[in-house]
């Protein structure tokens, strides 16, 4: 699901997510609370790219370009009509201005050289293209789970907006987002099982946790500009690429 330019983080991400996707099933994008927003944007965007979706794509799979480092994820996406390439987020193998809609959910926090990754997102986005980006926010909210899943950082909202502006993106709307359990106890239990009893953990993840989490998603509520991020764990931004 993620990429990283740091060799150590890249290794952490590949080990964790290859193991995750090897035993997981693809979840259709229509099952996520992002679908109404994505569906409206995709209807106006024939050229679409999603970076590092793993098996949790948010864009329509058929006809969408996907760049990921995980072969198990790419195989399943390709079997459903996705146009798949194995690539890092900070080295995308696409021409300039190639896409009308670019998505990067929960990606750039895994990349040490996030400036280079956002530059790549900007390079492949056509003028006027939409960018959907989600990241965990507030370093004060850092937990052992961030280390476990290979995060390099959490973002402060003002610094995130400045990063996007440097690469020609203008914020349109934002929303609270994310499916991570809020219970510290549940996170610790999940990490223990993934480390010590991976097969059992994956059975519960695929058959119990994901079904519960998908059913418990609140409607996504995008608001103009930047929302009040106090108490928000993950922020979703809808941006436009300036000409």
Distance CA 105, CA 161 (A): 16
Q: Which of 216, 212, 205, 217 is nearest to 177 (CA)?
A: 217
Q: Which domain holds residue 164?
A: 7-178+219-241
pLDDT tens figures, 99-136:
999 999 999 999 989 999 999 999 999 999 999 999 99
Domain-embedded: residue 197: no
Other beta carbons less than 10 A from residue 213's beta carbon: 14
Closest CA to 209 of 61, 56, 41: 56
Q: Tell me how many domains the chain contains.
A: 1
**Residue 151 domain-assigned?**
yes
Indicate whether 198 belongs to any domain.
Answer: no
The torsion region of residue 231 among left (phi > 0), alpha (psi -120 to 50) and beta comes to left
Residue 17 above 70 pLDDT?
A: no
Q: Classify residue 201: in a domain, yes or no.
A: no
C-beta of residue 116 within 8 angstroms of C-beta of residue 162: no
pLDDT in tens, 187-212: 655 555 556 555 666 655 665 666 66
| Residue 212 forms part of a structural domain | no
Nearest CA-CA partner of 38 in 157, 131, 176, 108: 131
Q: Is residue 187 part of a domain?
A: no
Q: With respect to residue 47, please indicate whether it lies within any of the assigned structural domains.
A: yes
Residue 188 lies in a domain: no
Q: What is the CATH number of the domain that holds 126?
A: 3.40.50.150
Stronger pLDDT, 150 or 53, i.e. the higher one: 53
Q: How confident is the model at residue 214 (pLDDT cuts 50, 70, 90)?
A: confident
């Amino acid at each position: 699901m993620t990429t990283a330019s740091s060799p150590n983080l890249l290794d952490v991400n590949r080990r964790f997510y290859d193991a995750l996707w090897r035993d997981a099933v693809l979840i259709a994008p229509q099952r996520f609370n992002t679908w109404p927003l994505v569906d409206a944007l995709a209807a106006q965007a024939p050229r679409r790219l999603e970076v590092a979706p793993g098996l949790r794509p948010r864009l329509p799979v058929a006809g969408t370009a996907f760049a990921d480092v995980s072969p198990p994820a790419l195989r399943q996406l390709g079997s459903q009509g996705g146009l798949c390439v194995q690539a890092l987020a900070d080295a995308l193998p696409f021409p300039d201005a190639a896409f009308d809609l670019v998505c990067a959910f929960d990606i750039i926090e895994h990349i040490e050289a996030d400036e280079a990754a956002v530059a790549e997102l900007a390079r492949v986005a056509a003028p006027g293209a939409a960018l959907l980006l989600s990241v965990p926010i507030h370093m004060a909210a850092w937990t052992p789970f961030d280390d476990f899943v290979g995060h390099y950082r959490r973002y402060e909202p003002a610094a995130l907006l400045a990063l996007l502006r440097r690469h020609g993106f203008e914020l349109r709307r934002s929303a609270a987002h994310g499916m991570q359990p809020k219970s510290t106890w549940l996170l610790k239990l999940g990490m223990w099982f993934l480390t010590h009893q991976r097969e059992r953990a994956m059975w519960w993840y695929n058959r119990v946790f994901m079904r519960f989490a998908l059913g418990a998603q609140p409607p996504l509520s995008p608001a103009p500009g930047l929302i009040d991020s106090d108490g928000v764990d993950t922020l979703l931004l809808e941006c436009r690429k300036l000409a």
